[in-house]
Amino acid sequence: METIKDRITAVYQQISQATKQASRRTDDITLVAVTKTWPVDTLLDAYDAGLRDFGENRTDELEEKRAAFETVRGRESGVTWHFIGHLQSRKATAVADSADVFHAVERVKIVNKLQDRLAQNGRLLPVFIEVNVSGESSKSGIDCSRWEQDATQQSALRKVTRAVLVAPNLSLLGLMTMAPWHAPDEEIRTVFARARALAEWLRDDLRLERPLQLSMGMTDDFEMAITEGATHIRVGRALFGERHNN
């Protein structure tokens, strides 16, 4: 039977090939192991096999697993907890208290709710703003399906980005996007390339000092995402197998 260790090795080999192809460095890629639906024992195995970034998409799971994990490995385990799911504003407190990175900012209201709580708990939260570049209606994120020629879409993104920039306890890491489901490779690649171009446009537009990072790529498409500029890939099934209860 394939162990988690074997699967991690295989994923790292794929990452290494893709970075080589793109003349990038493997150090520039953060592998976020998406542990949603898996029990804390799976996270402990993944930790022992060397993984240090975990991604959850439900606040109750994040809180429970983080607490259970830290009971075993302590609070200084070196794990970074990523919240990668859609966030309803009434759950913002949980993310402000328990996530180390949030990948799916899409509204000013969420930014404000997070900031209110972070001002209380004294934590800092780096975030990605989620953009919907593919235009698929099932996808969350700010509509950027025609951002190249649509000034309204540009200003919607600018508005949320400015809210993040002025929030004292939030910092802007970059943009997050999802590829369309079951699309041909070329279409997926184009979505990633357009997200990258959007990040470059936004940086120029707001005169940001540093380049924006890109959270994009999952089990079926992370190699393409890397060749198109991803800095954070969010991988579940390739590491842990199929999820049964989600």
Please say which residue, 154 or 196, places its beta carbon nearer to ligand PLP. Answer: 196
Q: Any contact of residue 140 with ligand PLP (CB under 6 A)?
A: no
| Contact with ligand PLP (CB under 6 A) among 117, 139, 232, 234 | 234
Please say which residue, 194 or 234, places its beta carbon nearer to ligand PLP. Answer: 234
Q: Maximum Cα–Cα distance for the chain, whole Å?
A: 53
Q: Any contact of residue 84 with ligand PLP (CB under 6 A)?
A: yes
Q: Concatenate the DSSP letters of all residues of the chain into one string.
A: ---HHHHHHHHHHHHHHHHHHTT--GGG-EEEEE-TTS-HHHHHHHHHTT--EEEESSHHHHHHHHHHHHHHH-TTS--EEEE-S---GGGHHHHHHH-SEEEEE--HHHHHHHHHHHHHH---EEEEEEEE-S--TT--SEE-TTTTT-HHHHHHHHHHHHHHHH-TTEEEEEEE--PPTT--HHHHHHHHHHHHHHHHHHHHHTT-SSPPEEE---TTTHHHHHHTT-SEEEESHHHH---S--
Q: Are 55 and 82 in contact (CB under 8 A)?
A: yes
Q: Any contact of residue 174 with ligand PLP (CB under 6 A)?
A: no
Give the binding range for ligand PLP (CB under 6 A) out of 117-125, 135-143, 196-204, 231-239: 231-239
Please say which residue, 25 or 237, places its beta carbon nearer to ligand PLP. Answer: 237
Least distance (Å) between residue 236 CB and ligand PLP: 3
Q: Are 189 and 224 in contact (CB under 8 A)?
A: yes
Q: What are phi and psi of 177, to 5 degrees?
A: -145, 160
Least distance (Å) between residue 32 CB and ligand PLP: 8
Give the binding range for ligand PLP (CB under 6 A) out of 73-81, 91-99, 200-208, 232-240: 232-240
Least distance (Å) between residue 69 CB and ligand PLP: 19
| Contact with ligand PLP (CB under 6 A) among 163, 218, 224, 225 | 218
Give the binding range for ligand PLP (CB under 6 A) out of 1-9, 87-95, 107-115, 228-236: 228-236
Please say which residue, 154 or 192, places its beta carbon nearer to ligand PLP. Answer: 192
Q: What are phi and psi of 31, to 5 degrees?
A: -90, 110
| Contact with ligand PLP (CB under 6 A) among 149, 235, 241, 245 | 235
Least distance (Å) between residue 228 CB and ligand PLP: 16
Least distance (Å) between residue 219 CB and ligand PLP: 3
Task: Find where tokens 């898996």 sit.
Answer: 38
Q: Any contact of residue 79 with ligand PLP (CB under 6 A)?
A: no
Binding residues (CB under 6 A) for ligand PLP: these are 34, 36, 57, 84, 218-219, 234-237
